[in-house]
Structure 1
Amino acid sequence: MSASDHPVDHDVHSHGDTHGHGTMRSYVVGFLLSAVLTAIPFWLVMTGALQPGATAALVIGLAIAQILVHTVCFLHVNTSSEGGWTLVAYVFTGVIVFITIAGSVWIMYHLNTNMMPGMPTGQVSGTP
C-alpha cells in the first residue's frame, strides 16, 4: 500500500487554522510597500532634503507604517482574529515601541548635550 492510497484527513492536517494564509497579491503588495517605506527614509537621510527634526519625525512615522504593513501583509493580523486580542496586542506593542524610541531619543539627546560641556559639537579633545 503506497502513501497515495491513504485517505487524507483534512481536520488533522488543518492545525486548527480557520483563516487564510494570504495570497500572492498580498505578499507582492506587502513587499512593494516595504521597499518604498524603506527607500524613502534612506533617501531623506542620505540627501538631507529636510531639516533634521522633520527628517527624524518622518522616519519614525514611516517606521510605524512599515510595522503595520508587515503585520497585515505578512503576519495576516486583522481586526477580526482572536476575538479582540489583536487590539490588545497592538496596544501593548505600541506602548513598548513608544517607550523604546522615546527613551532612545531622550538618552541620545542628553548624551550629546552633557558628555562634553563647553565643547562645540564635533570637536575632539586634545587631552588624554
Structure 2
Amino acid sequence: MSADSHSHDAPAHGTRRSYLTGFALSVVLTAIPFWLVMTGALGNNQVTALVIMGFAFVQVIVHMIFFLHLDTRSEGGWNMLALIFTLVLVAIVLIGSLWVMYHMNLNMMPAMGSHDASVM
C-alpha cells in the first residue's frame, strides 16, 4: 500500500487557518445576535427571533464545513446523504408536531381552557 493511495482515502483534516476561520465566523455569528438582543436594535421581538434563527442556521453550516469537514466528497457522499435524511426526518417531526398542536388548540372545547368559578 503506497503512501499516495493512503492519503487519498484518508478523511480530510482542517488546517490551522481553516479552524481559525471557522472560530472567527462562529464568534461573529454569536456576537451579532447577542448584540441585537441586548440593544433591542430591531425593535420587534418577532423580527429579532427570525434574524437570530437565520444566524443560527448559518452557524450550523459553518460548524459542519469548518469543524466537521462535511462535504459531498467525505465518505463517498454518504455523510451528506445521512445529513439530508436526518434533516428531512427532523422537518417531518417538527412540522407534524406544530400541525397537531395547532389543530388540537383549534378543536379544543371553549370551557376547557378557562377556570371559571361559576362552572364549579
Question: Where does the alignment leave 5 or more consecutive residues of structure 1 unmatched?
Answer: 1-9, 111-115, 118-128
1:26 partner amino acid: S
How many residues end up aligned between the 2 structures? 99
Match of residue 45 from structure 1: 37
Please give the TM-score of this superposition, normalised by the length of structure 2. 0.64
CA RMSD of aligned residues (A): 3.3
Match of residue 80 from structure 2: 87
1:38-117 pair list within 5 angstroms: 38-50=30-42, 51-95=44-88, 98=91
Tell me which of the two structures has the higher relative contact order, counting C-alpha pairs closer than 8 angstroms and 6 or more residues apart.
Answer: 2
Please give the TM-score of this superposition, normalised by the length of structure 1. 0.60
Q: CA deviation at 1:101?
A: 6.8
Moved more, 95-104 or 19-28: 95-104
Q: 1:37 to 1:81 in 2, by over 3 A?
A: same
3-state SS, counterpart of residue 22 of structure 1: coil
Q: Identity of paired residues, percent? A: 50
